[in-house]
Structure 1
């Protein structure tokens, strides 16, 4: 998996209430939610984010409640992946489930500024800040997690697995 995009920079402890405020959770429509993504911390985000952009953050990104709407809203807004020093575990799992790749870069994420263009190659295990030329080693996603992300999420991955088993003549 490869991504190149403009970065949006946020700090530590960005919680799910900031990613998608609770007042909008009366819908499950991800496009509607995307229109409000990050608005309490960055009112310009939803109107300016482009397909393929990358969020870069500090420690504990996605902390707070376990709502799966948060990574879904980011993905629907066009975010290709999120790079952070660390992630809240429930956000990490929810992002995997919907096919939003997350990269724990540790303190290396500090060297990436808002507006920098970042190229991420998960297969090669490298990210490059195209603004500075600085390269970072990207810890690989475990194989099955990368397969889930490539499939677009756990539901799509499971459908593919079931279809391939069914094609092999096995009954479900």
Structure 2
């Protein structure tokens, strides 16, 4: 995994819950069948109310109808992203759809841990609300080593909270892969 993530922003509001990230009706697909796994990408963020999807305009789907992959690689959100149930499928669905990172004001703790433990997406936190200064479709660049996000449309850079070991864990593919890589657990 590169230390630069560049791509289009998808902006959401506050309190985006796990049922909005991947509605319960779509939890029936196999996690090991490649054809069914694609459906998690297809339905990622499909439960977000239309007026909240793709702010500030609203009514912009995260995944275009008839596809399995999003054009948006960086999600920007308000506080309490991933609240609701402890659904591990939520960060998995975002990863399958092509999301590489989320930049939110805060996270539900279990969602944050699921992002990291499964090695799905990088969950950055920001002390500065970005949902009013970044809009859906803006080209962003996250510099993981500098802990910054730059809006390439406006050339404004914002500082993000440091990740600590989170990037290394996500890059390794999750907590168990990281533990094996760092010789923190017995090899099998």
Report the TM-score when normalising by structure 1.
0.86
Shift >3 Å, 4+ stretches: 161-166
Check conservation: 1:108, 1:136, Cα contact below 8 A.
no
Check conservation: 2:127, 2:161, Cα contact below 8 A.
no
Q: Does 1:86 align with 2:106?
A: yes
Check conservation: 2:9, 2:74, Cα contact below 8 A.
yes
Q: Which one is further off, 59-68 or 31-40?
A: 31-40
Deviation at 1:40, TM superposition (A): 2.1
Match of 1:60 among 53, 76, 80: 80
Report the TM-score when normalising by structure 2.
0.79
Deviation at 1:165, TM superposition (A): 7.1
Match of 1:141 among 163, 170, 178: 163
Q: Does 1:39 align with 2:61?
A: no
Q: Which one is further off, 35-44 or 110-119?
A: 35-44
Q: Structure 1 pair 63/163, CA: closer, same or farther in 2 (3 Å)?
A: closer
Check conservation: 2:100, 2:122, Cα contact below 8 A.
yes
RMSD, aligned CA: 2.2
Deviation at 1:141, TM superposition (A): 0.7
3-state SS of the aligned residue for 2:129?
A: helix
Deviation at 1:49, TM superposition (A): 1.3
Deviation at 1:107, TM superposition (A): 2.8
Deviations 1:45-91 (A, max 9, x none): 223613x7111111101000001000000011100100111111110
- Structure 2 spans left out of the alignment, 5+ residues: 32-36, 54-59
How far apart, in 2, do the equivalents of 1:80 and 1:32 lie?
18
How far apart, in 1, do the equivalents of 2:61 and 2:129 lie?
26
Q: Which one is further off, 14-23 or 154-163?
A: 154-163
- Structure 1 spans left out of the alignment, 5+ residues: 167-171
Aligned length: 165
Whose helix proportion is higher, 1 or 2? 1
Aligned partner of 1:71 in structure 2 is 91
